[in-house]
Amino acid sequence: MSVLIFVELDEGKLKKSSQEAIFYGAKVAEMTGTTATAITVGQADETELATAGRFGATKVLHAGDAKLNEPNGMAYATVVAAAAQQEGSTIVVLAKSSLADAMTARLAGKLKAGLAANVIELPNLSNGFVVKSSIYTGKAFAYNELKAPVKILAIKKNTITPEETDATATVQSFAPALNDSDFVISVKSTEKATGDVLLPEADLVVSAGRGLKGPENWGVVEDLAHALHAATACSKPVSDLDWRPHHEHVGQTGIKVSPNLYIACGISGAIQHLAGVNSSKVIVVINKDADAPFFKSADYGIVGDVFEVLPRLTAAVKAL
């Protein structure tokens, strides 16, 4: 019996969010007196998969069927359910993501499991099985007691800091039975976001709004992002105007991020934007309007023109 952790891959590499999930799952395994097993799907090098051991997994099950190369929530749920049944796992851990959202409810149905999403802390086992979750876009917390024999925990990104060792995991081939019904939804094509740092996985984010006045002025934002090795993002009006690609839109109807640092440049701070960023650990707001609503949610604020502040900030970062 072991804690099972679903691991997502990006071009054959373990995603940062999955490294966090492995570490979390390994800690839960320690608490429950068992081991941590990872399950991953798609093409990957065995040496790369073995690195799951650095974060606490003792074994990796690899479902390498070519039909699973494209992300498919239905098929992936079947694979993870089969792995849980093989390993006798009563706890399944994964990082919350768009793929996880597409498969966790199906997985819960297959395993007749209790499900908690946006989990931000290790479970409390002193009186049952209670987990703390972030709710209302980070404005409140919920404590969920899971009573089902099987429990699924979807971990919120950037809330767990993994500790890395030099250990490696053993890798085993895993070939569960797949039915045609698992592929009634097929992936015809995949368009991936571009950039040096992808927004959903970023620890640092530099974001900008209509205060930049036009797409031709985005260089000052990109310069700071490059200096910080950060991802770039934007407000909804900016993506609606096609100043920036839609995959950079952060907010209630866009991507929700929880980086260690979120720098907002020339963004007023409408509630819809805040809904996507208020889980950030530190928020820095730069705006020439001292009454901009975003300052009420900021940890640090700079009242000034972004075209003057950003180049000076970039220079200071480079000097460090």
Best CA proximity match to 131, nearest among 89, 83, 93, 84 = 93
What H or E segment, with its residue span, contains residue 145? strand 140-145
The pLDDT tens digits for 229-254 are 999 999 999 999 999 999 999 998 88
pLDDT in the model for residue 11? 80
- As to burial, measured by CB atoms within 10 angstroms (0-12 exposed, 13-18 middle, 19+ buried), residue 266 is buried
The pLDDT tens digits for 58-114 are 999 999 988 888 888 999 999 999 999 999 999 999 999 888 999 999 999 999 999
Contact 59, 170 (CB under 8 A): yes
CA 171 – CA 173 distance, rounded (Å) = 7
Residue list for the binding site? 210, 266-273, 287
CA 41 – CA 188 distance, rounded (Å) = 18
The pLDDT tens digits for 178-235 are 888 888 877 776 666 555 677 877 889 999 999 999 999 999 999 999 999 999 999 9
Strand ranges (E), 156-253: 170-173, 204-208, 231-234
Residue list for the binding site for FAD? 210, 266-273, 287
Buried b or exposed e, range 222-248, using 16+ CB within 10 angstroms: bbbbbbbebbbbbbbbbbeeebbeebb
Domains and CATH numbers, the chain: 2-183 (3.40.50.620), 199-319 (3.40.50.1220)
pLDDT at 153 over 70: yes
Q: Which residue has the tokens 């979807």?
A: 154
pTM, rounded to two decimals: 0.83
The pLDDT tens digits for 11-51 are 888 999 999 999 999 999 999 999 999 999 988 899 999 99
Tokens of 242: 């096609």
